[in-house]
Amino acid sequence: MKQVGSDSHFFSVPKELIPVEKVVPYNIYINSSADDKRLRYVRIYPAGEVLTGADLSSFEQKYVQLYVHESERDIYLDTLTDFSKVSRKEKMEVVKGNAIDHLSSIFLRKGLRDDENLGHFIKECRSSVESLLELTHCNDIGDIQKLIGNLSFHDFYTFDHSINVSIYSMAFLKAIKPNTERGKLISLGLGSLFHDLGKIKVPTDLINKADKLSEEEFKLIKKHPEEGHDIFLKHFNDVKGLDVHGIKRIILEHHENFDGSGYPFGLAGEEIHLYARIVAIADFFDAVTTKRSYHKAMSAHVAIDLMKKAAGKKIDPKLFELFKNAINLVGTKERDYLELDEDFDPCQPQKVLPLKAFKPKKQKNDIFGKEDKEKVKKAA
């Protein structure tokens, strides 16, 4: 077995998407140490050899995760086209399942003592985001929404929701800025995936609570942006090719509202980082369009109608219009009868979405002033 030092960058690969009974054109590795400070990647299968079903079955029994070296990423991605019989939905399920495994290791501390090895699993999420990016190559967010809508949902809301927000955020940025550098897309995707990272400091029963939070519970929840920022700073050291500043701003600012009514700092408008404003839109959209065990999914049309009423309050109105165009619902007819409560939190599961009758604000001033009205009357 060939051993490689810890300074080399590897990414994890789903076992289901490794060619079987064919020549594998890349080397396959395992991590032989659970200690993030003493990572040692060992090659268990060389490039150029035929991998049999028995070989892969043996790997599944022995090893939790398989890896490929970053230098062979393009070779690995080329092999995905060989899975022509695997639908896009099935590929998405595999990649999302891989990301859920990584997030569950972080949030549920599987195999961890306190914060031990947390940094390792945070780094693992980068490879998940890169795989998710490959599955969002089309700019039509409507197609992505249909794909996500057909996937089975996970009982733990934070995992599935965070992954969906990551997918939507990257797809949205690609739609409005097609020439965005890959590193910026991955940074946005990783920040989206970690936007609720601070919730690992909150009791699981509280972050999974679908009923309305008490005032004390909400105070505890409101600490998670700053908690997440601190955790990310402490455990994330691999900054190569990433916009770490942008990732930190997403974690800190994803609950800031466009009108300044959010938390933790009460930022408003463009004081809020662009990435955080994109995540806020993706966050809102997924919260109401994805089927949960708590509530039925709303259609994309209804979601856009609800978001329109929040534009300028919770979300950036200009970005919302771009999102509406990107999702291909430019001509949707607004439904005036419903809106969401001001305290709606898309990051929290909802047993019943807090909908209420929509009451448009009365205009304080008419289009014509008092003097203008008199002139019109006389002219008539």
* 112 or 90, higher pLDDT: 90
Q: Is residue 375 part of a domain?
A: no
Looking at the structure, do residues 101 and 53 belong to the same domain, yes or no? no
Last residue of a domain, which of 37, 66, 86?
A: 86
For residue 315, give the DSSP letter: B
What is the domain extent for residue 241?
88-357
Looking at the structure, do residues 319 and 350 belong to the same domain, yes or no? yes
Cα dihedral 317, 318, 319, 323 sign: positive
Looking at the structure, do residues 291 and 325 belong to the same domain, yes or no? yes
Looking at the structure, do residues 252 and 121 belong to the same domain, yes or no? yes
How many domains does one find in the chain?
A: 2
Q: Is residue 362 part of a domain?
A: no
Q: Is residue 188 part of a domain?
A: yes
Q: Residue 2 forms beta bridges with which residues?
A: 43
Looking at the structure, do residues 218 and 288 belong to the same domain, yes or no? yes
Q: Is residue 131 part of a domain?
A: yes
Looking at the structure, do residues 27 and 150 belong to the same domain, yes or no? no
* pLDDT at residue 292, as a whole number: 59
In tens, the pLDDT along 182-216 reads 889 989 998 998 898 888 888 878 877 778 888 89
Q: Per-residue pLDDT for 77 more than 80?
A: no
Looking at the structure, do residues 335 and 208 belong to the same domain, yes or no? yes
Looking at the structure, do residues 144 and 43 belong to the same domain, yes or no? no
Confidence grade of residue 116 (pLDDT, cut at 50, 70, 90):
low
* pLDDT at residue 7, as a whole number: 42
Looking at the structure, do residues 81 and 221 belong to the same domain, yes or no? no
* pLDDT at residue 212, as a whole number: 81
Report the predicted TM-score, pTM, of the whole model to 2 decimal places.
0.65
* pLDDT at residue 197, as a whole number: 87
* pLDDT at residue 81, as a whole number: 65
- C-alpha span between 8 and 214 (Å, rounded): 47
Looking at the structure, do residues 18 and 163 belong to the same domain, yes or no? no
Q: Residue 238 forms beta bridges with which residues?
A: none
Q: Is residue 363 part of a domain?
A: no
Q: Hey, what are 12's tokens?
A: 């994890």
In tens, the pLDDT along 330-361 reads 334 444 555 656 666 665 655 555 555 555 55
Q: Is residue 380 part of a domain?
A: no
Q: Is residue 177 part of a domain?
A: yes
The residues, ordered by sequence, that sit 6+ positions from 118 with a Cβ below 8 Å of its Cβ are 36, 106, 112, 231, 235
Looking at the structure, do residues 52 and 123 belong to the same domain, yes or no? no
* pLDDT at residue 150, as a whole number: 54
- C-alpha span between 340 and 358 (Å, rounded): 8
* pLDDT at residue 207, as a whole number: 75
Looking at the structure, do residues 175 and 248 belong to the same domain, yes or no? yes
**Domain CATH number, residue 113:** 1.10.3210.10
- C-alpha span between 255 and 213 (Å, rounded): 16
* pLDDT at residue 79, as a whole number: 81
13 contacts 76 by C-beta, under 8 angstroms: yes
In tens, the pLDDT along 12-42 reads 787 878 889 999 999 999 987 655 445 688 9
Q: Per-residue pLDDT for 113 more than 70?
A: no
The residues, ordered by sequence, that sit 6+ positions from 304 with a Cβ below 8 Å of its Cβ are 324, 327, 329, 332
* pLDDT at residue 225, as a whole number: 94
SS3 221: helix
* pLDDT at residue 345, as a whole number: 63
In tens, the pLDDT along 234-290 reads 877 556 778 889 999 999 999 999 999 999 999 999 999 999 999 999 999 988 887
Last residue of a domain, which of 86, 102, 136?
A: 86
Q: Is residue 371 part of a domain?
A: no
88 contacts 137 by C-beta, under 8 angstroms: no
In tens, the pLDDT along 308-334 reads 988 999 999 999 999 988 876 433 444
273 contacts 253 by C-beta, under 8 angstroms: yes
Last residue of a domain, which of 56, 71, 86?
A: 86
